[in-house]
Amino acid sequence: MFFLSQLGPVAELVLFSAIKVAAVIAVTLFMVSYLVFAERKIAAAVQDRIGPNRVGPFGLLQPIADAAKALLKEEFTPANVRVVYYWLAPAIVMIPSLLVIAVIPFGSQLGAQKMVIADLNVGVLYTFGIASLGVYGIVLAGYGSNSKYPFIGGLRSGAQMISYEVAMTLSVVPAFMLVGDLNLSAVVEHQAGGILRWLAIQQPLAFLIFLATAFAETNRLPFDMPEAEQELAGGYNVEYSSIKFALFFMAEYANMIAVSGIIVTLFLGGWTLPWFGLDRPAREGEWLKGLVHVGIFLAKVILLLLFFVWVRWMWPRLRYDQLMGLAWKRLVPLAAANIVITALWLWWRA
């Protein structure tokens, strides 16, 4: 405490920001590893198999073995690729998910520190702007691989993400019309005071549209056309191996975590619970309450991630024309109509 008292405001900001960045990255990578493990176990249960159970008790050390395998495999670059784009793509595809997580409030307060890395006044604009960059990595992977299947996967991904980003962006407009603020912390505070204040209850259509587009943005079934193993043998990442393939694999699950965090923040009350006074921020001395808020946020994210996994193993893949038609003929008109209806209701109420 004496050391902290000697720090200036700028040095203190840099120090605590670095601690929060390190903690968030560590938790995200841990969740990525064990989300893969959970998906393999759930898939095995659905298909009446055992799943990974050899490495460690109940197979719990399997993610460590998988990471070691990815790091130790031979680094191989095919002769026909466009080398610069081929190497650049895996790095680009991983970065946006981590940048999005930086503005998501994962708790109320610990001591004097807000549980968010960057509390931006335009957090939602930043979130959608950064999230849209992930498609560049996938398109570059398809182009840089200089191969037919990856190229088709890259084209599909570009068209799919652009289409569903329109519906996703339009779907959240009514929520922010109700809140009157683009700051994600303000969105969470607006939902305090009872479950009926959660925007999933106040704006159910916006919530359902956003949830559907989240599956498309993360290339998850029933919207995994860029990878479609039966058609494209793996799609945009088919020419990759070793750590570069692992980065694509990690990016998919990191994107799921980021999108789940956004859904929890925008529609499911963030770190709040409407019981035991847990819908109000912790004060400076309430460390336990602050930790409970972080736990509440993580619990909601984990439940949503398990829902993502369940859908993958229970729903069939859409045809490509059905996928694009759903975006432009159904979700975009519904989202636009929801904006008009919400605006009329707010005008009438005023």
Residue 140's contacts (CB-CB under 8 Å, 6 or more residues apart) are 85, 88, 89, 92, 154
pLDDT band (50, 70, 90) for residue 230 = low
Question: What would the pLDDT profile of 9-66 be if each residue is shown by its tens digit?
Answer: 677 777 878 888 888 889 998 999 999 999 999 989 888 888 888 888 888 899 899 8
Question: What would the pLDDT profile of 97-156 be if each residue is shown by its tens digit?
Answer: 888 888 899 888 887 788 888 888 887 888 888 887 878 888 888 888 888 888 888 888
pLDDT recorded at residue 6: 61
pLDDT band (50, 70, 90) for residue 331 = very high
Q: Which residues pair with 110 in a beta bridge?
A: 113
Closest CA to 258 of 111, 123, 160, 61: 123
Distance of CA 29 to the CA centre of its chain: 13
Coil, helix or strand at residue 218: coil
319-345: average pLDDT: 91
- Domain residue ranges in the chain: 69-349
pTM of the predicted model over 0.75: yes
Burial of 6 (0-12, 13-18, 19+ CB in 10 A): exposed
191-203: average pLDDT: 88
Record the tokens describing residue 291, joined without a space: 């930790």
Q: At what angle do helices 332-349 and 148-179 cross, to 10 degrees?
A: 10
Does residue 277 surpass a pLDDT of 80? no
Q: Which residues pair with 172 in a beta bridge?
A: none
Other C-beta atoms lying within 10 Å of the C-beta of residue 94: 20
pLDDT recorded at residue 231: 66
Residue 287's contacts (CB-CB under 8 Å, 6 or more residues apart) are 110, 111
Distance of CA 220 to the CA centre of its chain: 12
231-254: average pLDDT: 81
